[in-house]
Every structure is written in C-alpha cells, then in structure tokens.
Structure 1
Amino acid sequence: MDLLRVSAARHFQLFTTSCRNMHLLKKQAYVNGEWVQASSNAVFPVLNPADDSVIAEVPDMDAADAKTAVDAASNTFKTWKNTTVKERSYILRKWNDICLQNVDHLAEIMTAESGKPLAESKGEIAYGTSFLEWFADTARHINGEIIPGPWPNKKILVTRHPLGVVSVITPWNFPFAMITRKVGALMAAGCTCVIKPSEDTPLTALAAVELAVQAGVPKGVINVVTSSRKNAAGVGKVMCEDPAVGCISFTGSTHVGKILYGMAAKGIKRVSLELGGNAPFIVFPSADMEHALDHAMLAKFRNNGQACVAGNRFLIHESVFDKFVEGFKGRIGQKCVLGPGNKEGVTCGPLVNKAQAEKVTGLVDDAVAKGAKVLLGGKIAKHLGDKFYESTLLVDVKPDMAIYQEEVFGPVAVCYKFKDEAEALEVANSTRSGLASYVFTKDLGQAFRMSEKLEFGMVGINDGILSSCEPPFGGIKESGIGREGSKHGVEEYTDLKYTLMSALDK
C-alpha cells in the first residue's frame, strides 16, 4: 500500500510539474493589457482537488486592484464601443480559432484545477468555443427598428447601444465556458469587462485570456482580477457598486446572487444572473425506458453532478419505478468510474473542494438518518482521497429531509414515485428554483402540457442535455434574471435608445 501511495504521489507530482511548464499556465492577473501582481504582492495557492497539491500561486488582489481594473475597462470602453461590428466579429472568430488550436493545453489546466476528467474538459472547451463562433456571427446582426408612429412627417428610430463596463463573476464548475458565454456576448455588443474567476479555478480563465490576447483583443477590453475568498467580498463590492460598471453578469449560487443583486440595486445597474437549479427529471409510463435511462446518466453525472442544470429530483411514475431504478442502478455501477481526472477511463473526478464534499456528505447522511435507502454509493471513497464521493442512488426520500428540497450539486441521484401527471407537476414546481427541467414521454399532448405548466425557464422533452449556443439559456423565479446564448445573450448587454425624427417635411 505504501508503494502505491508513493507511486500515486509521484504521478501527481509529474502531472502538476507538466502543468507548470505549459506555456498557457499564467500566474499573474491581467489588467489593461499587462500581466500584473497584486498591489500588495500577496498570492494564494490554486490546488489540484485530486490530491491537494499546489498547481500555482496567483495574485490575491483586493478592492484597490479591482478599482484599477474597472477604471481600465471604463477608459477602453470609450474607444471599443466605436469599433465596427465587423472588427469585433473578426476578433471573436480569431479567439475561437486559437482556442481550438490549444484544446489539449487548456484541458490539462482545467482538469488539474477543477478535477473533471480530461474528456469532459475537452468537451467543455468545444462547448465554450461554440459561443465565440456564435457571437462572432451575432455581432453583425444587432439590429434596431423603425416603428410606424402616430404622427405625420415623423419617424421613430430604435437603436441598440453597448451599456458599458460589465463585471463578470464566474463559477468553478465550467471555468472556460462560463467566460466565453459571457465575454463573447458582451464583446460582440461593444462592451468591455472585468472578470473575477472562482478562486478554485482561476488558471483556466487566465489561459483563456492569454489566447484572447493572442487573438488581438485590445488592451483594457478584457481584464482579470484574481482573489482568494478572503478578498472576494471587497473585490465584489467594487465590481458591483463602482459607478463605471453598467452591468453585473454572475453565474453561481442563489445565495450569492441575491447579495450581488442587492449591491447592484444601489446604482440601479443591469444584472444578468444565472443561479442555482433544482431540476426535476420526470419519467412517464409511455417513455422509451432505455432512452430515458441513457439521458438520466447524462443529466445527472455530467461533471460529477456539479452543474446547475443537473437532474436533481428523479420523479418516476409508480408503474415503471422499479424498472427505472433497477436500470439506473446498473448503469451507474457500470459507467461511473471514480478517480483522478487525468487517469484514462475515469468518468467522475473529485468534488472541487472540501466544502463541497462536506455538503454532499451532509445531505446524504441526513436523508439516511431519516429513513432514506441507499441503493448504491453513499459515502466518500477514502482510498482515493477526501473529495471523491461515490456515485450514489437513493430511494424512500421524504419531504422532511434536506435533500428533498436542496440542490445537491454532486453525484447523488434521488428517485421518487408519483401517481399521475398532476402530482408530478405539483412536486416538480414545489421549489423556488426554476432553471431546467426534463420530461420523458411519447404522449405528444402530455409533452406540450408539461412544457406549458412546468415553472422553469428551460424544458427538455426526451433529452437530458439542454445547453448549446443557439437557444436562450436561463431561469425564472430564484434561478435568475436574463438569458445567455442566442441573440438574446447579446441583447442583454445593450441599451435601447429611442430617437424621434421630426419635422421631416421642413
């Protein structure tokens, strides 16, 4: 066993050393076209969640550094907003092309700091670059309107204008795609930005920005401020309340989103909030069972369950409940392979940090203590490390259990029985979250009824993967405000201006 530990430690040492030698591994923040340290010279470590080894140290910036970045973005906006849509489109497309040329380098950094398997990291880069390509095209179609008016000899013109500096605050679970989805859109609209990546995954953000620099993004258009949890509140206050900031774009927990929304309200600033989910995955008797099970695996275990659109509550009709649960158990046992993300064959890596592992453990332990039954998993795989949570399947979950209402954000599938369509809707909608939902049925009328009555911003009918660059991604209720992707994703970063052209007969 000691020899195995030494071998594993040596393997990770070689892995992290290779990361340090990669040309895309940046250890400084990026402000006004310069790679910089924190004004205090403070740093904090970025850890590999698989073994807690230090990948790199990056600047631990504070409120003063954030203010410098906002000022740089504000000054650059004065010129960037006047660039043509053709220029912006060209730069975004070039950024896309360069990212695609560096997939392996980006993926290795992402896996090192987030823990996700290399195959998933590469998949995220393909997904993330699709937004750069999409917004390169969309930039040239930000159109206005001419509206017929009630008066003779007058014309009503409506034009769209970039709203200014955008504060971009991104999560750790998709550290590349969340940046391209936001920054691609705001750049297409003519805005500039300051990015605050998660303290768990800043290296992917810095690598993405290095490629943006290579693509010719002018200095000051994109700025990146890195900070530890200690300085996050001070940095966030500047990014939300500085008068130069026109919009706060945030993806993360509902709890933090409410705090940022309150701060933005002080300046009546625009917000784009993509917050937590509690997605129901509903299976009716008419569903193609094998297809539903395949998509249940995708909806639940992509990124080890650490996704806001992950299936959280599996609502299965009582007539097919046992069949679904047995099939789900078999697939989980066969297809969920736990281990370090850079190991071949692994499909589920570690949870991103100790707090996340403790949260998932607490939810499962509470449910089991109150009578839930574990059919598979249910604990940390300690032989791998303290953040490797086993892929888990629970049944007999009741409303008095925390896991009944809370988003798990981990590899835990919870199955419930329902009797009819009305009960499925009642349970599915009994949450303040309203991001994603999934329905499996061959009944066309039922599919349309569920789409109409489910209180969620997105509904997947017979599909467990919703996300792409073309549709508008976002939620209702406490799952957010605004949409990302699609043409609407660019429009989020524009203001409408109404101009009345009068006296046209004079």
Structure 2
Amino acid sequence: MTQTVNFSEQLSLRARALLHGLGAAVPEPGPLPARTPISGGVLLSLAVDAPVDVDAAIGRAATAFETWRTVPAPVRAGLVRRLAQLLVAHRDELAELVTLEAGKIGPEALGEVQEMIDVCEFAIGLSRQLYGATMPSERPGHRLMETWHPLGVVGVISAFNFPVAVWAWNTAIALVCGDTVVWKPSETTPLTALACHTLLRRAAVDVGADPAVHQLIQGDASVGAALVDDGRVALVSATGSVRMGAAVAPRVAGRFGRCLLELGGNNAAIVAPSADLELAVRGIVFAAAGTAGQRCTSLRRLIVHRSIADRLVERLAAAYSQLPVGNPLDDGVLVGPLIDERAFAAMQKALVGSVAEGGDIICGGERIETLGPDAYYVRPALVRMPGQTELVREETFAPILYVLTYDELDEAIAINNGVTQGLSSSIFTLDQREAEQFLAGSDCGIANVNIGTSGAEIGGAFGGEKQTGGGRESGSDSWKAYMRRATNTVNYSTELPLAQGIHFG
C-alpha cells in the first residue's frame, strides 16, 4: 500500500471492510478512538461501556456459567473447535486488522492468528485430559482422590502488543474448563477485540452453545477496574505493566479472588565464547527488533563474553543497518511503528539517559518520518553500556538493546538475574556444561538455549517470576489456574475409621 494524501482515510476504509468481512458490524461512533500506528490517524471511533453495562455483562456471564459448567468438557470443546475453524477461514482478514491496529508486520500478525488456532487445538485435546489424581488412603475401605471443577467467570484484561493471541490463550482454555469469559481489551486495539468477539459469538450459535458465555466490554482503565473489583469474577487474568499488576493484585486479593498476572519483562541473552555467532546474530536481531521491541519477551539486555564482544557488536551493527523500517503493510518491511508518541518519548528518554550513564549508542534510535507527523517509526538502537546501571534495570518498551560484558559465566547469570523482572532469558553456547549451568541458574520463567528470548510455543506454560507476576498461561498444566480443586474421600466400608489413627468415643 502506497502513501497518498488520504492515506489515513484509506486505512479507515480498509478497517471497515475487514470488519464487514469478519462479520462484525461497524460500531456506532463514540468517544473511544481506534487509532492506527501506521499513520497515527483514527480508523473508527467506538462507544464505551458505562458501569451499568459492565455490571450487566458480568451478570450475563455469571448466569451463563451455571449452565455451561454442567456441559461435559468434550462437548464444550465443540465451541472452541468451531472458533478454530472460523479463525482458519478468516486468518488473513484478522491478521490485517492486527496490523492496522497494532502495527505488526504481516508475517508477525499472521503468526499471532496462527497462535490462536494452535491454542484452540491444544484446548480441544485438553478437554479430555482435565485429570485428577487418586492417592492411597491410610484407611481401609476408603478411596482418596482429587477432582477439578469449573471456577466461574474469568475476567481477561489484555494489552495492545498481542491484541488477539493472549485473549485466545485465556479464552480457549477457560471455555473447555467450563468457565465463562468477560474480556476487557486494550483501549488501543478495540477493533480486533470486536472481531474476535463476533467470531466467538458466531461459533456459539453454530454449535448451539449459549453466546452469553463470552462478553466484551470496551473502555479505559475504569472499565477494567470494575471488572477487577467485582466479586462475581472468580479469576482476573491481566496482561500489562508491572504498575498495572501492582494495582490489580491487592484489589483482587482484597475480595479473595484469584489473579493470573503476566507483567513486565527485562529479558537478557548471554553469548558465550563457544557460541555460533551467525546463529546468535539472527536470534538476537529478531528478539530485539521484532515487533519494534514491543513484546514482553523482547530482548533488552545482551550479556557478551568480553573476548567476543567487539566482534559481535560489529556484526549486530551491520545487521541493524540493513533492517527495513516502514509501513508494515508493505512487503519486505521487518520493523513497523511504535504504538504511539508516548512510546517514542520513552525510548528517546532512555537513550539520553544511557549516554548520561556512560553508554555509547552504536547505531539507531533516530526517528524516520515517512508516513506523517503522527506516526512514530524508529531505527532499533544498539547501545554499549559500562555495566548494568539503574537505567538498564528498567524496562523500556521500545527497540533498545543494551550490550554488557562478562568474564565468568557465574557473573553473566548474576547479571541476567539482577533485575526485578523475571520473564524470559537465553544463552547462546555450544558447551553443554554452560547450557546446563544457565538453565539451573536463570531465575526466569522461560530459559532458552541457542534461541532468542521471544517466540514461545503454545505447548509450554508461558509466564515469569518476580515482578513479572508468577502467572502461567497457555500450555502444560496452566489449565489448573482456571479450575478449582476438590479433595474427595469415599468410604465404601461399613466402618468409620478416622485419619491419623484417632479414636473418638
């Protein structure tokens, strides 16, 4: 797509056409603007939900739960299966809408929709594997076991950088577990949320399920706060900043609800002397510059052995200079825009601060003004730092990669662990001992060998430690967060022995 005088208008017309193709009604104008970072213009505007609307949506989900929880899990999976079919049929349209709202390049947007399809397939299989356990009882004629039951209404609060995949992680699993869902998307990406909600409602009608099992509420932080504070919401799954999580967690805990938090990441990769540098450069560049550095798993700190640091930095700088930055709708572009002016300002502030702390900007950081004054395209920045300064310990949600050096692996692992976040980490090494030492020593929820910090598969549990929140979503046994456990004892004898050999009466 080429730039014209009416470029923003073209994008707006395209957004309307995509919504129509996805079966979603174009929303009535309202106070919530759906902007595109491609041009900075407004695609459409939407109405926001008032407190009474949020209350009603949660009420509908709570009512629907009473029936949905009794539907057998493999039957519940039929809804998710139909959703997956619709996602396959509309993959290209939904991916393009993701590009329009979040600024992702085409392959990354398609990958995000494919991630939705993958997690639906995972959830379908999971519906026949919600296993409990049977334990030996110390009492004769007794059976001791645990069973898992639907939890209730799940509130999902998602962020702009993965506007559809994170919703699918939560929703596909929650639905097969017997929960109903109320979704509060980022106010930055309301159109993709409307499209997904429409597809799920259509899937429900197609399989004869109650469409009320999924509710969508739109608006600013006050809408999310109403979801967080409502006692009918059994679990709040929130993705966003550490600051947001620090506000959400005590409010949910104060009403004895459950939280699943996916918060900030200040991810590091260690490059050892034995590393395959060609492999490392490819992995580092994608992890640091992909999605314009706006993934929670983006690589932000590079910890390189001193003996190879100069050589690796030279190769990275050469790779950075060749990265095509521009309109994510154009073929060949690898780095799209930052989400908005605030993200750009934060990046510039961090770069100024890095120089003040003794850093050297090797390349990048400058703005590219190609698509109008309200669009923020920047070249990914590579910065050598004298050490892990206070600035380096902070997460800047932008494509800045700080390069640090180390002499011994223990020192590198300590640098990796020396931040308050604990999401993703990796090491590039061909030494098995170094790899195993790193896997045992990293304090992150994700630890990789010879790949970057981003690009997690749906089969593994996703999440992190420390200020990242401790939550786990998607694969493995993450389903347990969406269910409640009951321990059951069945006495099939004619006696009534007590545990621990207690005799009473």
Contact 1:397 1:414 in 2 (8 A): no
**For the residues of structure 2 that align with 1:498 and 1:139, how far apart are their CA atoms?**
21
Contact 1:237 1:263 in 2 (8 A): no
The residue aligned with 1:481 is 470
The residue aligned with 1:387 is 376
Displacement of 1:236 after TM fit? 2.3
Q: How does 1:207-226 map to 2 (within 5 A)?
A: 207-216=195-204, 218-226=210-218
Show structure 1 runs of 4+ deviating over 6 A.
none
Contact 1:472 1:483 in 2 (8 A): yes
Q: How does 1:64-143 map to 2 (within 5 A)?
A: 64-143=52-131
Contact 1:47 1:113 in 2 (8 A): yes
2:51 aligned with 1:63? yes
The residue aligned with 1:186 is 174
Displacement of 1:397 after TM fit? 4.6
The residue aligned with 1:324 is 312
2:285 aligned with 1:291? no
**1:8 alignment partner, one of 4, 13, 16:** 4
**For the residues of structure 2 that align with 1:18 and 1:280, how far apart are their CA atoms?**
38
The residue aligned with 2:503 is none
**1:368 alignment partner, one of 355, 358, 370:** 355
2:492 aligned with 1:496? no
**For the residues of structure 1 that align with 2:257 and 2:187, how far apart are their CA atoms?**
25
**Any idea what the Cα deviations from partners look like across 1:209-260, whole Å, max 9, x if unmatched?**
2111222252211111010x3xx22x22321121211000011111101110
Contact 2:74 2:176 in 1 (8 A): no
**Any idea what the Cα deviations from partners look like across 1:42-72, whole Å, max 9, x if unmatched?**
5311111122221111221132221111111
Displacement of 1:16 after TM fit? 2.3
Displacement of 1:399 after TM fit? 4.1
**Any idea what the Cα deviations from partners look like across 1:93-144, whole Å, max 9, x if unmatched?**
1111110111111012111111111221111111222111111111111011
**For the residues of structure 2 that align with 1:349 and 1:308, how far apart are their CA atoms?**
16
**1:206 alignment partner, one of 194, 214, 222:** 194
The residue aligned with 1:3 is none
Q: How many residues align?
A: 485
Q: How does 1:255-274 map to 2 (within 5 A)?
A: 255-274=243-262
Displacement of 1:10 after TM fit? 2.9
Displacement of 1:295 after TM fit? 0.6
2:350 aligned with 1:358? no
Amino acid in the other structure paired with 2:112: E
Displacement of 1:77 after TM fit? 0.2
The residue aligned with 2:150 is 162
SS of aligned partner of 1:141: coil
Structure 2: any 5+ residue segments left out of the alignment? 496-505
**For the residues of structure 2 that align with 1:400 and 1:392, how far apart are their CA atoms?**
17
**1:339 alignment partner, one of 305, 319, 326:** 326
Contact 2:383 2:400 in 1 (8 A): yes
Contact 1:170 1:198 in 2 (8 A): yes
Amino acid in the other structure paired with 1:493: Y
Displacement of 1:398 after TM fit? 4.2
The residue aligned with 2:225 is 237
The residue aligned with 1:412 is 400
The residue aligned with 1:305 is 293
**Any idea what the Cα deviations from partners look like across 1:404-433, whole Å, max 9, x if unmatched?**
111122111111111111210121111111
SS of aligned partner of 2:367: coil
**For the residues of structure 2 that align with 1:159 and 1:371, how far apart are their CA atoms?**
57
**2:459 alignment partner, one of 454, 470, 478:** 470
**For the residues of structure 1 that align with 2:166 and 2:347, how far apart are their CA atoms?**
23
Amino acid in the other structure paired with 1:17: L
More off after superposition, 467-476 vs 379-388: 379-388
TM-score (norm 1): 0.92
Contact 2:326 2:370 in 1 (8 A): no
**For the residues of structure 2 that align with 1:453 and 1:223, how far apart are their CA atoms?**
42
**Any idea what the Cα deviations from partners look like across 1:438-494, whole Å, max 9, x if unmatched?**
111111111111111111111011111451111111111111122112242211101
**For the residues of structure 1 that align with 2:277 and 2:225, how far apart are their CA atoms?**
49
2:373 aligned with 1:377? no
**For the residues of structure 2 that align with 1:9 and 1:467, how far apart are their CA atoms?**
40
Distance change >3 Å, CA 498–CA 401, structure 1 → 2? closer
TM-score (norm 2): 0.92
The residue aligned with 2:501 is none
SS of aligned partner of 1:479: coil
**For the residues of structure 1 that align with 2:298 and 2:492, how far apart are their CA atoms?**
57
**For the residues of structure 1 that align with 2:189 and 2:59, how far apart are their CA atoms?**
25
Contact 2:354 2:385 in 1 (8 A): no
**For the residues of structure 2 that align with 1:484 and 1:201, how far apart are their CA atoms?**
21
Contact 1:367 1:397 in 2 (8 A): no
Q: How does 1:40-59 map to 2 (within 5 A)?
A: 42-59=30-47
Amino acid in the other structure paired with 1:439: I
The residue aligned with 1:431 is 419
Displacement of 1:313 after TM fit? 0.3
Contact 1:239 1:245 in 2 (8 A): yes
More off after superposition, 206-215 vs 283-292: 206-215
